Structure 1
Amino acid sequence: MRIELTSIFVDDQRAALEFYTGVLGFTKRHDIPLGDNFWLTVASPEAPDGPELLLEPADHPAARAYRDALVEDGIPLVQFAVDDVGAEHVRLSEHGVSFTQPPTDIGTAVVAVFDDTCGNLVQIVEVKPEPEPAS
């Protein structure tokens, strides 16, 4: 079993596509019209055939309520791995991204949280290497 697709609810699919590709650096995989919306997915350029992120319309009242409650409580809806949280914080800040939590060392990792401009909080994480066992 493996993860091929996961989704994130967004206010505006086209604005989300611009943010997730133009700012975060993902690449567009699918853009298929479906009524008033689209089957719109992005993937990491580091794993172009890997899992896709569906930019799902947040039209359903339950989706909007769920997402809004998470934002109000400061809980990220999604987490992305990065090699260097500090460098990503600088890069994204230079693109005008607003962080709700600056880079924070939590022991086993360094994390930061930002607003994706599409209605969600996103956490980036840099997992620290495990310490060498004492000999």
Structure 2
Amino acid sequence: MKIYVTSVFVDDQAKALDFYTRRLGFRLKNDIPAGDYRWLTVVSPEDPDGTELLLEPSAHPAVGPYKAALVADGIPAASFRVEDLDADHARLVSDGVRFAAPPTDAGPVRMAILDDTCGNLIQLIQMKA
């Protein structure tokens, strides 16, 4: 069994697609009309046949309070692994991405938390050797 798709709830699918592709570097995998929304997935360019991230509309009434509670408590909605956290942090900051937490040592990892502009905190993780 493998994880095929995982979701992050986004306030605006077009804005999310721009952020996740242009800023974070993911690649568009699927963009299929689905009623008022789209089945919109992105993948890592390093693993184009790997797990897809679904940019899921935040339309369900339970999503708004859920996302607000996560952000208020500083809890990331998703976590992405990077090879060089400091380089990615510097690149993203220079591109205007806002970080809720800068690169920090946390046991066996280094981590930082960014704002995806679509209502979520996203954690970047670099494994320590």
TM-score range, shorter chain: over 0.9
**Are residues 1:101 and 2:96 paired?**
no
* Residues 94-125 of structure 1, C-alpha deviations (whole Å, 9 max, x = no match): 11000000000112110000000000000000
Counterpart check, 1:10 vs 2:10? yes
Structure 2: where are the runs of 5+ without partners? Answer: none
Question: TM-score if structure 1 supplies the norm length?
Answer: 0.94
Within 1, Cα distance between the matches of 2:36 and 2:95? 30
Which residue is 1:77 aligned to?
Answer: 77
User: Which of structure 1's runs of 4+ aligned residues deviate more than 4 A?
Assistant: none
TM-score (norm 2): 0.98
Amino acid across the alignment from 2:69? A
> How far did 1:38 drift?
0.2
Moved more, 63-72 or 50-59: 63-72
Partner of 2:62: helix, strand, or coil? helix
- By how many angstroms is 1:4 displaced? 0.8
Give the aligned partner of residue 121 of structure 2: 121
Q: Which residue of 2 aligns with 1:57?
A: 57
Q: Which has the larger radius of gyration?
A: 1
User: Where does the alignment leave 5 or more consecutive residues of structure 1 unmatched?
Assistant: 130-135
Deviation at 1:35, TM superposition (A): 1.0
Secondary structure at 1:56 match in 2: strand
> CA offsets per residue over residues 67-108 of structure 1, 9 Å max, x none?
110001111010000001111110100110000000001121
